[in-house]
Amino acid sequence: MKTRFILIETSHAGNVGGAARALKVMGFEELVLVRPRWPNVLRKEETIQRASGANDVLASTRVVDTLDEALDGITHLCATAMTPRDFGPPTRAPREHFAALMAEPAPPQGVAFLFGSERFGMANEDVYRCHVALSIPTAPGYGSLNLAAAVQLVAYDWRQALGGFAVASPVSARPAADAAAVAGMLEHLQQALVAVDFLDPAAPKKLMPRLHQLFNRAQPSDEEVHILRGVARAMLQTAERAKR
């Protein structure tokens, strides 16, 4: 689904960079600036630094003079502002609205999220054009969100509504050691436990079967089996030195 984030009359270069970074980490790339305070905002050092590597998003960002230019190809507009007191679109939390939107028989082909100036917010005339006014639930009494932070929250909820991303483990899974390796390690460990007088071979009870079950549940890798055999080896060497 076409997704576009539109920043209207943004006054801080850092927020443009922060917004670009927010889009990239959520897998979005369309950013449009309407009459930003700085015509060269995409080249400012603060913008580039705050983008933190999202240079491709900045490179494809458009700067336009009117909101109409930013809305081509868009069929559903979401304001991120309070609904004006006189009249206007309904106010909903992003997650609630996105769930309802995706449940429609024919979801919109293009969705845009409009963010107003840091100093003045969105003009009523711009809010009136939108289908909904999104309000991010915040602590009562203090709802002042940084612009880039608001972009990040909306982008996250929208990505989740679209299906989200799987959580990738930073550690690659290692195959478990085979049964023979575990059995050999347990035999080595048994010798060490006897050597340090922890296990009485005349009355072993169920210690070794319980340890066998423990390691079957743990599914140690080959490297972990080698570590445990190293521990057993050190125990045997220490016991031998003690006997001398």
- Between CA 4 and CA 71 the distance in angstroms is 9
Question: Mind listing the pLDDT tens digit for each residue in 112-167?
Answer: 999 999 988 899 999 999 999 999 999 988 888 899 999 999 999 999 999 999 88
According to DSSP, the β-strands at 76-79 and 91-92 are: unpaired
pLDDT at residue 74, rounded to an integer: 96
pLDDT (0 to 100) of residue 97: 96
For the segment 78-90, what is each residue's pLDDT rounded down to a tens digit? 999 877 677 889 9
- Separation of alpha carbons 115 and 121, rounded Å: 7
pLDDT confidence bin for 58, thresholds 50/70/90: very high
Question: Percent of the chain, pLDDT > 90?
Answer: 81
Q: Where are the alpha helices (DSSP H) in the chain?
A: 13-25, 45-51, 55-60, 67-70, 94-103, 124-128, 147-161, 179-195, 207-218, 222-243
pLDDT tens per residue across span 177-218: 999 999 999 999 999 999 999 999 888 889 999 999 999 999
Q: What is the mean pLDDT of residues 86-101?
A: 92
User: What integer is the mean pLDDT of 45-59?
Assistant: 95
What is the per-residue pLDDT for 107?
A: 87
- With 80 as the cut, is the pLDDT of residue 229 above it? yes
Q: What is the CA radius of gyration of the chain?
A: 30
Residue 172 pLDDT exceeds 90: no
The pLDDT of residue 144: 84
**85 or 76, greater pLDDT:** 76
